[in-house]
Structure 1
């Protein structure tokens, strides 16, 4: 059985994802660099914004609906695992990768663990 998580962990992750969405609408330098370094065509960048919006929505809804936040958090982890794989395959393992991609992956995992212990 999945236990309803505390409200702060999914809220924090949702807030961070919404901030990421905001700076991705017109990608600032390091976001643009990350997307270009993995050779993701610019015409597909909007998909990442939709994925993050859906994840944030699921995290917020999950505060009241058991299991939804858990699923959304696992989805965020999967997203950043895929992003990490894309960076490694492209050889783009610089500071932006370590700070942004791996930082978000670690944060997502930590918040999931904190939500369910």
Structure 2
């Protein structure tokens, strides 16, 4: 397992470094793709280029501290899910690079989690705080069902979701990306029933997501139903799942 982990991590690290260099230097490959996908040019350096660079560093640090490697690999999985969503949004079915990136990121996450679990302490960072299995498990399932239901309603936003997006000023170009975020969250929570570190990471990421959602509503002075029910209640649920199901 160590050889497999190091090999996959090395390949993923080289790919991440290449992505960072191409985007941060404004190479024609990401520029051309950004134009085709209607992605703002300023996004190439931040957040895209910076995300690649941080992921590269995270994978390297993960060799010594596996928990960091898990976070980095999971971040890349989310990144490429969003990338595929961006392609599908404009009807672009040429998913070669994005699909390969998602496959490599998923493989890296799996082998990193397996390698870390084979060590007794996950680098001494996570295992002292995360349950061996989620306990109780059923709130994780409930949250996963809510996320996949939310994803289904976001693919062609139903009325109240469309109004929510509009009220907080979410750019319409990002609307098609949102269901894929929910799908990725669902997959992470379900995987967390067997690999708790993945579930804990997913629920923590959902906490961050809904903190951002609450902040967006407050910034837009949207203090009605959207803030109270859609954002704040979801935030409370995610915090509860993270604290009571995954933490010791």
Instruction: Say whether the fold is shared (TM-score over 0.5).
Output: yes
Aligned residue runs from structure 1 range 4-83, under 5 A: 4-6=133-135, 7-83=137-213
Distance across 1 between alignment mates of 2:157 and 2:180: 14
Shift, 1:93, TM fit: 1.5
**Residues paired across the two proteins, number:** 117
SS, match of residue 67 in structure 1:
helix
For structure 1, list consecutive stretches of 5 or more residues without a partner in the other structure: none
CA RMSD for the aligned pairs? Answer: 1.2
Distance across 2 between alignment mates of 1:33 and 1:93: 13
Deviating runs (4+, > 4 A) in structure 1? none
Distance across 2 between alignment mates of 1:84 and 1:31: 15
Equivalent pair of 1:18/1:53 in contact (CA under 8 Å) = yes
Aligned partner of 1:98 among 213, 222, 228: 228
Shift, 1:90, TM fit: 1.0
C-alpha offsets along residues 59-107 of structure 1, whole Å, 9 cap, x if unaligned? 0011111311000000111100001111111111212211111110011
SS, match of residue 190 in structure 2:
helix
TM-score (ref. length: structure 2): 0.45
Higher relative contact order (CA 8 A, sep 6+): 1
For structure 2, list consecutive stretches of 5 or more residues without a partner in the other structure: 1-126
Shift, 1:8, TM fit: 1.4
Structure having the higher Rg:
2
Distance across 1 between alignment mates of 2:225 and 2:233: 11
Shift, 1:52, TM fit: 1.1
